[in-house]
Structure 1
Amino acid sequence: MGRRGPAPKPTRLRMLHGERPYRINDHEPQPAEGLPEPPEALSETGRVIWDHVVGELAAMGLAHGADVHQLHAYVEAVELHAQASLMVHRAGPLIKDRDDAVRTNPAVRVQREAARTMLALAREFGLTPSSRVHLSTEQVAEDAATRLLS
């Protein structure tokens, strides 16, 4: 049986949230320094999304090479959502099938699933407003200095 409850927050996000020092794991494995390299399979649009997202994560100190596959999945979900949204915009949410019956556009389902994937992965990376609501960059520097000196 899997773990119960919500997934634990990454230590970096816990520090940004101002978590009490005794609740932070000092022995957590740390990924290697450096930004993740974009996969070769990305399209031009995917590369633009990749550069934007990695830039935002780097600014927050949350971009690591170990996250390349999760970032790739996020970028693909964003791109798929954009494509499905364009199809829904062009054809509308309802379409007529061969029998002239009105049906939901299949692109609506693709759009919805891509949005769910985007949201789940965005929360993991701290890319949603609600996942950033308690972040404080000043507190990180203070906590990091305190942890190094203790």
Structure 2
Amino acid sequence: MVNVAGRKAKPVNLHLLEGNKSHLTKEEIEKRQKAEESLTLKSDNIKPPTWLDSEGKKTFRKLIKEFEEIDLLVNVDVYMIAMFCDAYSDYIECTKIIQDEGKLIEHTNKAGETNRIPHPLLTKKSHAFNQMKAMASEFGLTPSARTKLIQNMQVEGDNEDNSFSGRV
């Protein structure tokens, strides 16, 4: 089966950051920028979903407060941030239980023998960590993710200093 979908479309500013390899004219660039601006999403309803537990809501509010400084989030980002906060809450809960019960627990098998096995919540804790790690990079919640954002912003700023002359 052949994939006929082609490449994903890129925002025009990203296209310009990468060097305008398609050689878009100034008019084409302005037309795309206007079209992208018309798709700007609202950011007037960013609050924690009711299904988050208290730890998740607390984390959500802390993150949103930090993001307000850079005006990055819009309403549709609420769900991804909430999923990060939910995974964080699960991670904390697993950690507390494992600290209380120990990393190894006693397990009696079908033959009646008792063995010490790794705590089952270690797997859930690892899964929650992987979820947080994946979403953290999407929102710049790690040093390396922030560095990438900063580099893109610097390149974009450099491109804005250059004036267009016909083709870019």
* Aligned counterparts, 1:31-50, within 5 A: 31-34=41-44, 36-50=46-60
Q: Quick check: 2:91–2:129 contact (8 Å CA) kept in 1?
A: yes
SS state at 1:101 partner: strand
The amino acid of 1:51's aligned partner reads: R
Structure 2 equivalent of residue 68 of structure 1:
78
Query: In structure 2, do the counterparts of structure 1 residues 9 and 87 end up closer, same or farther at CA, with 3 Å as the change threshold?
Result: farther
Query: In structure 2, do the counterparts of structure 1 residues 116 and 50 end up closer, same or farther at CA, with 3 Å as the change threshold?
Result: same
- Extract unaligned runs of 5+ from structure 1: none
TM-score normalised to structure 1 length: 0.72
CA offsets, 1:75-111, max 9 Å, x none?
Answer: 1000000001111111222111123211110110010
- Extract unaligned runs of 5+ from structure 2: 22-28
Structure 2 equivalent of residue 122 of structure 1:
136
- Tell me the percent identity: 23
Alpha-carbon distance between aligned partners in 1 of 2:9 and 2:74, rounded to the nearest angstrom: 18
Aligned length: 140
Q: Quick check: 1:35–1:54 contact (8 Å CA) kept in 2?
A: no
Rg comparison, structure with higher value: 2
What RMSD over aligned residues (CA atoms) do the two structures have, in Å? 3.7
Alpha-carbon distance between aligned partners in 2 of 1:93 and 1:8, rounded to the nearest angstrom: 47
Q: Quick check: 2:140–2:149 contact (8 Å CA) kept in 1?
A: no
Structure 1 equivalent of residue 25 of structure 2:
none
TM-score normalised to structure 2 length: 0.66
- Give the counterpart of 1:97 among 107, 114, 125: 107
Instruction: For residue 46 of structure 1, report the CA deviation from its aligned partner.
Output: 1.6
